[in-house]
Amino acid sequence: MTKRLFVAVTVDDDVRDLARRCQSALTGVGPVRWVAPEAMHITIKFLGDTEIGQLPELLAVLQESALGQKEFVAVLGGVGGFPNSSRARTLWLGVGVGAAELRLLQQQVETNLAARGFPRDERPFTPHLTIGRSRELVKLPALPNELAHERVSCPVKGMTLFESRLGRAGPNYIPLATVHWIGR
């Protein structure tokens, strides 16, 4: 039996509030499915369908990856899109301060998982918080000036292994385990 899994950093209510306000400002941009605030997170590694028997090994990798990590702050704000803002399918809040730490964390998790036979993600990692998805390419308009320049800080104290259950109303994310930083 398998579970659809991913590793993520959770965000706080200040980030969710900014994301909600950005979603409201972008209403009408096109056929976008907005991410529910309670489902918002910064994905570190998408694992996909994973055998349940691998869960203990995954948790060991996350604990190993947490060694030496220290709490840091991620600052989020500004909206962008993948593949770009003129032709976006994924709409996101960017990460400024803290992006380097998130990249290092992602590399550590990726390296530790690869050493145990999990496939590497070959796409470059860009720290972001997804706020919406579209099946069609949409062009992002400029946000109102005060919203475009607003930034919020969020403490990053650990990472969580989630199960993603797909449903008609969208995905449901169930936290399976959280690993807090084990600073040296």
Active site members: 41, 128
3-class secondary-structure state, position 109: helix
Put the strands of the sheet holding 87-95 in their side by side order.
32-34, 128-138, 87-95, 72-84, 152-156
Cβ 111 vs Cβ 61: under 8 Å: no
Q: Which residues pair with 90 in a beta bridge?
A: 82, 133
d(C-alpha 32, C-alpha 14), whole Å: 23
Residues ≥6 apart with Cβ < 8 Å to 105: 9, 44, 65, 69, 159
User: Which residues are paired to 174 by β-bridges?
Assistant: 163
